[in-house]
Structure formats: C-alpha cells, structure tokens
Structure 1
Amino acid sequence: MNEKYKTIDSWRTLRQMKQKDQTKLQLPERRKSREERLQQLRTNGSQIHKYKRPAKPSTLQKHSVSQIEKAKQKSLKSANNTWPIKWLFWIALLVIVPAGAGITAISALFKLPSQADCEASYWPTASASKRLYCAQILATSPTVDSLLQAINLVDVLSNDHPMRPNIDGNIEQWSEKILSLGELAFQDGKLEEAIKIAQKVPQKVSAYPLVKEQIQNWQKTWTKAETTYKKAQEHLRQEEWNQASMEASRLLSVPNVHWETKKYQELINDIKRTRKEGSKLNQAREIGEQGGLDNLTNAVKKAQAIGKNSYLYQTAQKLILNLGEQIADMALVELNEGNWQEALKIVNKVPENDVLEEKVKDIELLARAHSPANLGTIAGLEDAIAQAQKLKTERPLYSKAQQLISIWQQEIADVKIIEEGKKLAQPGGISDLKAAIAKLQTVPPYNPRGQDATTLIGAWSRQLQQQEDRPYLEKAEKLASFGDISSIQAAIDEASQIGRGRTLYEEAQQKIQRWTQTVQRYQDRPILDNAERLASLGNLEQAILTAQQIQQGRVLYSQASSKIRQWQSQKEAKENLENARQAAALGTADGYAQAIILAQKVPTYSSRQFEASQLINQWGQKILSIAMDEVNRNVPLAIEIASKIPVSSVAYNSAQSQIRVWQTWLNTTTPEYQSPTPKSQSTTPEAVEYQTIPIPQEQSQQLREEN
C-alpha cells in the first residue's frame, strides 16, 4: 500500500509539471566556459526522452473477432437442426462466454492505460505493460526519486518475462540519467549529494561499474580543489598574498564548475579583503613597536578592527595578546615601584582577553592592596596582607602576592622596632641615643623600612656626635683665645680630635684653618718684613731670595709672591735702563733708537717708569736733531732717521711734521739728469747714493728753531 500511495503522489507531481521538450541527458563532450557548462548541465538535467506509446495489439483483436464469428456460424447451423431451441441457447452461451472472457483478457493485456489509471492502479495485480507505461511516465520527471520509482515499478517483473529486454533497456537509460543528475549535483558543488545519487544506480545495470570510478573521480577532484583552497587560505593566514593568488589561479583548472567559478571568486574576494586587513595589521605592529602606553593602546584599537570572520583574526588576536601583555607588564613595573594608582590606570587599558583576564584582576587586587599598605601603620599593612592572601596558588600573580605579603610582614616587624627605638631616644641623652641607634641597627638597610631606620640612625648619630664633640671644640676655642702661638697650636691639636665624618668636623676644620693661618702669620711676617727692608735698600736680589722662603700654601704666600714679582720687575727695569744708556752713549741715531726700545720694556707699574719716559723723550729729541742736521745733505736719509722716533716720545709729532715737509720737497724737485748706465753694468746696493737737495740757509735755521 505504501508503494501505491508513493507512486500516486509521483503521478500527481508529474501531472502538475508541464514539459514540452524532453531529450536524453548527456554529459558535455568538450570543455566550455563556466557559465555555459553550468547552464547546460542544468538544462540537460531536466530533459528526458518522450515516451511513445506502444502500438495496440490489433492482431490479438482480429484473432478474437474471428473466434466470435466462428461461434456465430455454429449457432446458425445449429438453429437449422432439429435440436430444441433451449439447447441451442445453452450451447451458444457456453461458447460465447469463454470466448468473450479471452478476448477481454487479451484486450486488457495490450491496451495502454491512461495517466489517471496509473494514479489509481493497484500494482500487485497490474499488468507488465501498465507498469512499463507508468514507469515511463514517471521517468519523464528529471528527479532521482522519480527515476528510482520508475525502475522499482518495472524491476519487480521476473527475468524470464517476455517484456524483460524492453524493461532492461529502459532501466539502463534511467540509470544513466541518475548518474547524470549526480554529475549535475557534483558540478553544482554538492559532492555528498552527488555520491548518494550515484550510489542509487541499480547494481545489475551495465553502467554500474562506472559508478565507483565516477565517485572516485569526483572525490579526487574535490580533494584536490579543497587542498588548493586550503593552501590559499593558509597563505592568507600567513599574510603571503602572492602565494595565495597563485593557489587561487589553480582553481581555474579544476574540472568543476563550482570550484572554478563560485569558490574561485570567493577566494579572490577573500584575498582582496584580507590584504587590506593585513595593511591595518602592519600599521598596528609599527605603532606597537614604538613603545609607550599611548602607542600600545592605539595599536590594540587597530588590531581589534580585524573581525572574527577574517583569516587574520587569529594573528590579530595574537598581536592584541602581545600588546596587552606589554601593557600589563608596564602596570606591574609601576606596581613594583609603589605607584599603585598609576598601575591601576594602566591596567584598565589592557584589552579584554581570556588569557590576560586573571592577570589583570590580580594586578588590580594587588594595586588596591598597596593603598592601605602605604599608610605605614601596622593596621594598614595587615589589611594589605589580607587582600593579597586572596590570590590562590593557581593565580598568575600568586608568587608576586606572596612576595608582597613577605615584604609587608617584614615591614610590620620593622615598624615595631622603629617605634621601640623612638621611645628609647626620646629622653635625648647620650646613653639613650646609643641604645636607640643600637635598636634600629637590627633593621637591615635592604628591609622595607631599612631606609627609615637609616634616616633615624643618621639623625640620632648627629645628635649624639654633637653631644660628644662639642666639649672638644669649646676647649679649643678657649685655648685659642689666649692669642699666643703655643696656645693657638694647642687649640688646633684639641680640635683635631674631631674626626672626619663627624657632625662637627666641618666646623672644627674651619676653626683649625683660621687658627693655622694665625700661626703662619706669626711665623712668616718677620721674613716678609725683612725682604721689604732689603728691597728698600736697593738689594733686590737678596730681597727676592728672602721672600721665597715663604712656601706655597701658607697664608702669606700670595703676598710674598706679589712682592717677588714686583721686585723682579724693578730689577729688570734697572737692567734695561742701564743697557739703554749704554746704547745711547754711542751718540748715533741707531744707538738712540735701540736705547728707546730698551727703555720701553720698563713696565708701567715700575718705579723706574718715570725715569724711562724722560730718557725716551730725551733720546727722541737727539734723533730729531740728527735728522735736522742730515736734511741739508740727504733728505731721504733724514726722513729715515726721523721715522725712528717712537710715538711715546714728545718729539714724535714734530718729527712727523718734518717728514711730511721733506716728502713734499722730494715730490716737487726735478732730479738732475744722469747719464744712462750701461746694461752690462749691474747696480748694487752699495752703488746707490741718495740724491742731495740743497736747502736755503734761512729755512734750515728756521727748522732748527722750531725743534
């Protein structure tokens, strides 16, 4: 009954389908474009051969008619007999009924049923011809179920049935159509559906051995395409754009419309999109590499723009994780330095990530625990320890929490010692301060409160040293007040007992230096006074030797050095003036010029400077007189002599005036004619003579008076 209802439903479906041209489905013989192939496959999948109704069995009908005519002839002949009419009736009835039944059976056997008959047929009693006809009607529908129903409808007939060859031929055709529908599904990208369709081909058909081979080809093609596609995807994940494009181009050679069209285009679009996302990811990397909180947070924002559907999503997430770890590490650095508020500010910028979630929470907890710990009280430290103890062994910062707990516990112990030390030092006596210092020295410098303990020890030590060393300094001052050398020296010795590094050491050294200078003055003043006395007597050499007895570093050394330089200058000035007088004693212009040069070496601060100036003026006048005498004989030579008078001489201005006048004479006087010198004779400096110009007697006398 189920088979009947299923078949009836198929008939109703077929009746609703209006197909005009139905041809046998064929696979493409040559490779066409992707669009043409897909369209052709879809078109061919819906084409099925029209089924021609077989001719009516007219021979059987004729045979049945002839039998009926024979029966009629027999009945006519019997009517002429003498038999009674009733016997004739029964005889005719016996002949006609079997003959009619046979004719009806034969007619029913060869008569083709209508489509409505196929829908209402009871198949267990249906004839073979009806089954074949209805199966052909079912096969006109291009669906796998219709073709399988058609095969099942006729395949129930025995192998020795007269219509078996015709049935087997139809089954072969329908099986090929099923395999073609599988190919269409394969080309449309439905591999599993194609395999299921192909596996429905009856095993006894001749084309069945091709089914397994076809399925293997499909799977091989599909596997190759999938491998290529996955390689391209992996290249995209690795940001290898060129390799991904090369793999995508290989899909164009895959003999499958789905892969070489739809999947190829999908991959090309993915490459374009992923390449843009890769550019954003590179920007995020570059910004993150610059370091700093702002750059790291900006890099995170850019990386977060990569969506979950992107091939670079995992890469972006790894980058975000790395950037987040850097931000978290920055927060840890601030936390380790005690900047818990800054640590909280930084850790809030760590991106949301399952890997970093626990670490971020731990940093926040420990940062908040620092708040009461920074109060420095025992209660605050105990509160901080209680918060840190919330981190269990499986937490990321458990070891850090244990480290802080240990530090804070040690800090509690240090606080207790410091409080005890403060109580001991409160009276302020020497023994009290020593006891307090000894107490705090039990706190190592590297302990949490080691710096506080060291600071207090330093303050108490200074206070203690002042109390210990002040008596030495007071005694030294009392000794120095006597003013004599022995008392001052005793004061120096007393103050020297205050060692380096002590609180009053600098003060003691200042007093020692002042007292030492006083002693040195007492010792060196007689030496310097003696040197000055010798210098006043003109014994500069001995004065210098005496002053040099005062050594460098002593209080009067700078004064003695100044005196020595002064006396050395006076000595040199004296020597220069003596040498100048010797040069001037020659009475020549060159001698006077040399004398002036030596006299000019006398320093301006020297006591011999006035004497040197007078001599320079005197010798300048001498040079000018010599020039005036020479001008009557040789004007150029007179100009040369007058030019030797220095600016510092009072005769300088007069000499310059005369030089200008004499130069005017040289420019306005015509030189006497001289015979040309032969070229063969060379002119030597010794042969050159100045040209003499006669000067009127009254003009020469006037010049002398002016000078």
Structure 2
Amino acid sequence: MKRQLHEFQVRTANRLRQRQGRKLVIRVVSNASASATKLRDEDAEQTEAPASAMQPPLTPLRRRNKIWQWWLLWLSIIFGLGGTALAAFFLLATIPPQVNCKNMSPLAPEMDRLTCAQQAAQSGKLEQLVEAMKFVKSLSPDNPVYPEATRLMEDWSRSLLAIARQKIDQGDLKGAIAIARQIPSSSPLYPEVQAAMKQWQGDWRQGEEITKKFLATLKEQKWFEASLQIQALSRLDNRYWDQKQLDKLIDRMSQEKKAWQQLEEAQTFAEAKTPEGYAPAIALAGKVNPNTYVKSKAKAEINLWSQELLKITAEHFEKEEFDRAITAAQLIPPKTSVYKEAQDWIQLSRSYAVAQENKILSFLEAQAALRQISPKSPLRQQARVTEALWQSNLQDRLQMQFAETIASFDQPLAFEFAISQAQAIAPKRPGRIEAQTQIAHWRKQIQQIQDRIALARSKQLATPGTLESLRAAVEEGSRIKLGQPLRIEAQTYIAQWTKAIQTMEDRPILDLAKGLAQQGNLQAAVAAASKIAPGRALYSEAQASLSDWVTQIQIAEDTPILNEANALAANGRLTAAINKASRIRYGRALYREAQGAIARWASEREAILIERQKAAELQQSIEDSSSESQTNSEPEGNY
C-alpha cells in the first residue's frame, strides 16, 4: 500500500507540473483515497480564484489592490510550483519504508506478503519458490493483488520447472516430479509441466529397461548385445540417459572387458598348478574391479586356487619341506575361506622348521608358534601332539646341554660323567638318538686320548733309533687296534719303524751279495740276494742288483751257444745253426739276439731251397725236351 501511495503521489505531482496557475496543496494522509479527495477539493477552490479575476474592473484603489493581488497570485503560483518541485524531488529521492519480511505477521496486508514472497522467490531457491506458490494458492481471484500475483506465479513456475529439469539432468526423477507438482493447475505453465512430467516418466521407464537388458548381457559377457543396448540408450532424448548414463554404461562395459581379460590372464597362470603359477594368478584376480560382475567369478577362482595351495602346503609338510610349505601358505590371500587354516599351517610348519635347530630357545619358540593355532582349527589336535613332543625334546635338550657342558672339559673323567648323563635319556625319548650319537662321540674322544698316550709312548721308545728300540716302538704302537681313532696315524708310524728295522736287518745281506758279485762269483751273489723276501724295505734294491747279475750269468752261458750257431751258419749248415740257436730259451738275456739270427738263417735257407727247386725244374724241363726230340727223329730213320 505504501508503494501505491508513493506511485500515486509522484503521478499527481507530474500532472500538476502541466497545470499552470493552479495551487497545489499536498498533505500526507494515511488513506490514499482520502488524500485524493482532499486534492480534488483544493483543486476546486483554486479554480474559483481565476473565475473572480474575470469580473469587471473596479476603482483605482481596487484596481491597485487587484494588481497586488495578481502579483501575490503569481508569487503564490511560483512558490507553489517551487514547493511542488521540492516535494516531488523529496518524494522521488526518499526510499519508501521497507517491509519487515522477517517478522511478517499473518495479519499483514496481502500486498506486503506478496512483496515478501517476491523478494524471497528472487533467490531462486526451491523452498522460497514453493512458499511463494503456496501464498498465491491462498489468494482468491477477487483479491486486489491477485492479478499481480498471477503474473509473478508464471515466473515462479518457470523457475520451479527449471529446477525440476536440473533434477532430471541429475537423475533424480522423484525429486523432479515432486518439484513439478508444486506448480498449481492455475499456473499458465501447468500444461507444459504435465507434458514434461509425462515425457520424463516415459524416458525413465525406457532407460531403466535398456539398462536392465544391458546389465543382463554384460553379466554373460555378451559384448555385442551390450553394444546394441548402448546404441538404443543413445537414441533417447534425455540428457541424463543419453549423456551421463550412456557414459556410465560405456565405462561399465570397458571395465567388464578389462576385468574379464585380467581373469583370463590369471587363469592362464594358474594352469601351471604350482605356487609359482598361483601367485601371479591370485594377484591378477585380486586386482579385478570390485564393481564388475567378473569380480564374483574372480573371488570363486581365488578360493579354488587357495584350496589348491592349501593342498600343496600339506604335501610339502608331509615331505618335511617346511620352508616351501610356509611359502605356499603365505600366497593365500586374507579374504578367502581357507585363509585361517592357511595361517595355522604356517604356524605348524614354522614350529617344525624352528625346532630343527635343536636348541632350547628353538623349542620354546616352536611351542609359542603352536599356541597361536585356533582351538577350532582342524590342525589343533596335531598341534597338541606336536607341542607335547617339543616339550619332551626340550627336556632332553636340557639334559644333553648339561652333559655337553661337562664334556667340554675334554678329560676322560668328564667324558665318562657326560656319558652317564646322556644314558639317562630313555630309549623311547625323542632325544635318544642324539644322546647315543653323543655317547659314541665321547667314547671315541676317550679312546682317542688313550691312543694318543700310547702313540706318544711309542714315539718315545723309537727315539734312540736302535733295532731293539724300534721293535719295542712297533710292539707298543700295535696295541692301537683297528677301528680306534688313531689307528691310521699309528700304522703310519709303525710302517716307518718297520722299514727302518728291515733296512737294518737286510743291509748286511745285500752288501755281502754285492761283494761276491764284484769278485765274479755271480751265482753266490744271486743266492745271497735272493734271501731278501718280497715286501721288505730293501727288496726292490736287491731285485735290481739280482736282475743285473742274472743277466750277466745268462750272457756268459749263452754266448758260446750263439757263437757255435754262427759258425755253423757260416759253413752253410743253416738248419744246424737254427737248431743250435733255439737252445737259448725265452726270457734269457740273449734270447732276442738268437731269435733274430734264427729268422735271418731261416730266410736264407728258404731262398736256397727255392733256387734249388727252380734249378731242378729247369733240369727236368731240359731232359723232357731232349727226350721228345729223340722220339720225333726215330721215324725218319726208318724211311
């Protein structure tokens, strides 16, 4: 109402500027209609004043007064126009009082409420536009502000429809429909809104149906059929479906293809059926996008491969390949059905691997590993049995540790005490084998100490180097029997001493033989040297001299025979020469020389025989020819 009053006063001031000679009286009243009435009354009074000016002239005094009246009139008009201008300027320059929309009373005038609704709707926010629409719905058609409100409602309806379209573009069909339904049927845009909602709902049903078919084909890896659904979606005249959702479906198909390729590559690795093949297979399958259909199949494959790895783990464990069992079990990923059991296998295998060190701390660590196996685990019973075994091993190891500490003094009495401690471990105890092994070792150590003493005594006896001392050393060293620790070392010394003894015993014999040989008595020398038996220290030297002497004897014996054979051959008696030389037997010194001569004589004899045969054949041929000639000449004599 204040705005109407302001507009009315300004329009009135403009009209009065065109009406020269009228007096303007402006009064601020609370009611615009009353103000207008007052103005009309003042205007009527002013119109009467000029009418009196049309009366006939009066007396000079009255005429003078009349002139002054005219001056006063014009001054009044001038001042009135100036005042009007000042008032108009003041009214134009002064902002009308603002409506307090924050504390608006329900009983406030409709114009004020409409003004507040318009101000709120200018923000473009959904809540303010809806409230403005509700206010318009509450107005009756005969309300003075209804025409203006109807005009504003059209603008607000467009704003609401724009917000609804934004919701549609964002994929919020329900939100868009809810906003569009806020537009009343009295709005000029109501038919357009209804058509838009129908279009949205139709596009939505079609888009959802296409998407459903697309996902179904995608789940079965039917890439061509999925591409057809993408093409169908692109033909929808809807920004949300043919742009945003279309891009999503294209990305989804790309993700599914990539995921399927990853799974196929993983399956190729897994065909090796070894930990080295399952490791990259599980890694690749684990990288499959969780938002794809392939992910469920990848999980199933990972579970299957994990079960195979668990079997491999058990096989390695049975073969006591504990490190390989741990490696295989560690390849099983956490989010699998057999992961907990795999962890139990790791603890069990680690327990055995650590216990192999056979140390006190190792058995304690092995027991700690077994306690980490879950009570509900299939391996729990085996873990209990193994833990009891490690406890027995721990007790035996403590017993052996004490025995080994005593044995570390390296004294026969210490070894004897250590042996008694180790013998306390019963036959069926897990440490029995180790105890027996150590007992054998310590007994060997005791024997070695004893042998060392005996060998030292033997060396001491052999120090003088006399025949008697060496024989005593050999006798003492021979007490170290076969199988004792220092047997080989003792036999080495005994061999040296025995060689020295034999040398002392046989040297006089060999020297005697050499002396006889120098005197030319080779037969006596050979007989003397032959007394040195095989295997003795000087046997090789004696045999060398003996061989030389025998050669000299054989040459002396066989040279006359060979000379006689040569003489026979020189006289042409080759056969006799051969027979004579054949008396030199194999192995004697002149055997090869005799055989060479025999071969030469045999060749000469063969040549002589051939010549004789040829001569005989020639003689026979001559005789045959002569006889034939005589036979042919006898008939001629008859004639």
TM-score range normalised by the length of the shorter chain: 0.3 to 0.5
Highest RCO, 1 vs 2 (Cα 8 Å, sep ≥ 6): 1
Q: TM-score scaled by structure 2?
A: 0.41
